[in-house]
Structure 1
Amino acid sequence: MSQTFVHLRVHSEYSMVDGLVRVKPLVGRVAELGMPAVGLTEQSNMCSLVRFYKAAMGAGVKPIIGADLWVENPDEPDNPFRITLLARNNDGYLNLTEVVSLGYTEGQRFGKPIIQRQWLESRTEGLIALSGSRLGDVGKALMSGKLDLARQRAEYWMNLYPESFYLELQRTGRPGDEDCLHLNVELAEALGCPVVATNDVHFLHAE
């Protein structure tokens, strides 16, 4: 039976210490489950892109190109926010590669490539942004009970990525998932912001 769910946040072995999924087995599993597409969003890099694209196209699976990024947190520099960017077209791909590159050449902090907001603000064309769930700036504000701040942050991203910013809903069994999910739904309803269900995938099989 064909699955309508599409994974938009998967880390492979190319995410170094943050994933063990191998690219070809991933594509094979997606095809086996009848999923039409999959998003491979490495942590702060796009090193798997060529292998992923070739494998997906060969298996009849639509490859969704993206990356998980750490975004600067002015209040707590050593505790950056998470955001996921997906390329919707070639312009988005080019902008994403520039942002990732800047993270390594100019944004190295605390052992991570940290993205500055000004880099994002000048490179929005062709990109879709996912909020980062409880690790994003909106999610962290919600989980801290700072609802007005969460609203301000969500409005910032909605303005930056018009009709291309989504509040992420995750139900992975991790602590805080349920609270974060319901708070995100309430905020989404208040702002008219679309939501998307994601699963923070680091392994191919549950066991």
Structure 2
Amino acid sequence: MPDCAENNCRKEAGFVHLHVHSEYSLLDGCARIPDLIETAAQSGHTALALTDHGAVYGLVPFYKRALAKDMKAIFGTELYIRNRNGQPYHLPILAENAEGYRNLLQLSTKAHLDGFHGKPCVEIDWLAEHSKGLIALSGCLKGEIAS
């Protein structure tokens, strides 16, 4: 078995927080990205997701900090989805790969430019169009399942 310290290989991930908000989740998150990464690293985590509300503003600083700590940065956001009745619910999504990352950015941009209804909302049809490479989570208390 290779020695990871000598071969610069990544440790196998155990538990990973997949629904995390930072100071970029206005009125909800208060943790600063450097503190999130530092705390996760001190706790032995090898990966961490960032799923700020309706935005991807924090992904670049999140990635840079995670990279500096040899931690895998998992890109995501918590979308505001408008259901068929026009009522918004929350849907955390994660990018599985580069195509998913591009789709994540497409959805966030479209929500801010074309779907702003007090919040940057995504129409369900837009999600269907840009779903490749994305993983949807169901664990939000303001999600459609919990509602």
Q: Deviations over 1:110-152 (max 9, x none)?
A: x111110111111111111112443222222xxxxxxxxxxxx
Separation in structure 2 between the aligned mates of residue 12 and residue 134 of structure 1, nearest angstrom: 18
> Equivalent residue for 2:112?
104
> Equivalent residue for 2:135?
128
Separation in structure 1 between the aligned mates of residue 95 and residue 113 of structure 2, nearest angstrom: 21
1:67 aligned onto 2:74: no
Q: How many residues align?
A: 136
> Equivalent residue for 2:3?
none
> Equivalent residue for 2:59?
49
1:118 aligned onto 2:125: yes
What's the TM-score once normalised by structure 2's chain length?
A: 0.86
Residue 6 (structure 1) aligned to one of 16, 22, 44: 16
What's the TM-score once normalised by structure 1's chain length?
A: 0.62
Q: Deviations over 1:59-82 (max 9, x none)?
A: 01110000001100333x3x4111
CA distance 1:132–1:114, change in 2 (3 Å): farther
Is residue 82–residue 132 contact of structure 1 (8 Å, CA) maintained in 2? no
Q: How do residues 156-167 of structure 1 correspond to structure 2 at under 5 angstroms?
A: none
Is residue 92–residue 140 contact of structure 2 (8 Å, CA) maintained in 1? no
CA-CA distance at 1:5 after TM superposition: 1.9
Alpha carbon RMSD of aligned pairs, Å?
1.6
> Equivalent residue for 1:156?
none
Is residue 69–residue 83 contact of structure 1 (8 Å, CA) maintained in 2? yes
Structure 2 spans left out of the alignment, 5+ residues: 1-12
> Equivalent residue for 1:192?
none
Is residue 76–residue 93 contact of structure 2 (8 Å, CA) maintained in 1? yes
Residue 40 (structure 2) aligned to one of 17, 30, 45: 30
Separation in structure 2 between the aligned mates of residue 103 and residue 132 of structure 1, nearest angstrom: 22
